[in-house]
Chain A
Amino acid sequence: QVQLVQSGAEVKKPGASVKVSCKASGYTFTSYGISWVRQAPGQGLEWMGWISAYNGNTNYAQKLQGRVTMTTDTSTSTAYMELRSLRSDDTAVYYCARDPYSSSSFFDPWGQGTLVTVSS
């Protein structure tokens, strides 16, 4: 079955960086994109950006431009999201989700989520 498995929880200090991984299985990795969505505690969903697993093209949310980098490793069917210069308001659960992008726009399935806590 199609599945996305994310890396474990992280605790980081303000100003540090975090890199979250998302390993895909059950489908042809390069036929889809991966979107990243985050959810601060008790808050709603926020789209962060998208990467094409086919050619590595990226689109980032304007508010995160310059702090976020999304990459993929097609040899291991894994997507990565790195967020730099972390602040306390970056504390959130980070999700990856498969995104067909070129043919439609929706997120299915989602990874289990990775809690990133930013605290001094």
Chain B
Amino acid sequence: QSALTQPASVSGSPGQSITISCTGTSSDVGSYNLVSWYQQHPGKAPKLMIYEVSKRPSGVSNRFSGSKSGNTASLTISGLQAEDEADYYCCSYAGSSTYYVFGTGTKVTVL
């Protein structure tokens, strides 16, 4: 099972909006509304930002939103802030033989 494809890097200025794509296949992203997104700052454990494609856990800013179309999921960060600079990973359930597959990761830089 190959990793989901994400852009290696995305950048934006404070206050701008950016979108990170996560492309899979009809066996993972396209088949299940079980895509989640994680934020990871250097040297820290990942943190859940979005689950089930578009749901936000309690405590996560509403500047983070998720969506899906076909085999591609997306994470949008609006009103970009310096603290959003981190690595972001998507993850999808991929059925009962593979279970989970992560994305390749995207480094977000706030200019």
Which residues of B21-74 have CB atoms within 8 Å of chain A's CB atoms? 32, 34, 36, 38, 45-48, 51-52, 57
Knowing A107-B91, A108-B51, say if A47 contacts B100 (CB, 8 Å). yes
Q: Which residues of B contact A37 (CB under 8 A)?
A: 46, 102
Q: How far is the CA of A109 from the CA of B49 in the complex (A)?
A: 11
- Chain A CB count within 10 A is highest, among B32, B91, B96, B104, for B91
- Look across to chain A and name the residue whose beta carbon is closest to the beta carbon of B57: A108
- Interface residues of B, count at CB 8 A: 26
Chain A-chain B contacts (Cβ-Cβ < 8 Å), number: 63
B105 close to A61 (CB less than 8 A): no
Q: How far is the CA of A18 from the CA of B47 in the complex (A)?
A: 25
Interface segment among A8-16, A24-32, A76-84, A110-118: the answer is A110-118
Q: How far is the CA of A113 from the CA of B43 in the complex (A)?
A: 9
Whole-angstrom distance between the Cβ of B56 and the nearest chain A Cβ:
12
A47 close to B51 (CB less than 8 A): no
A44 close to B57 (CB less than 8 A): no
B48 close to A107 (CB less than 8 A): yes
Which residues of A24-49 have CB atoms within 8 Å of chain B's CB atoms? 35, 37, 44-47
- Look across to chain B and name the residue whose beta carbon is closest to the beta carbon of A47: B100
Whole-angstrom distance between the Cβ of A70 and the nearest chain B Cβ:
13
State which of B34, B47, B97, B98 has its C-beta within 8 Å of the C-beta of A104.
B34
B48 close to A45 (CB less than 8 A): no
Whole-angstrom distance between the Cβ of A66 and the nearest chain B Cβ:
16
New A-B contacts (16) at CB < 8 Å, excluding given A105-B32, A107-B36, A108-B57: A35-B100, A44-B3, A44-B105, A45-B102, A47-B91, A47-B100, A59-B99, A62-B98, A105-B93, A106-B48, A106-B51, A106-B91, A107-B91, A109-B47, A109-B48, A112-B45
List A residues at the B interface (Cβ < 8 Å). Answer: 35, 37, 44-47, 50, 59, 61-62, 95, 97, 104-113
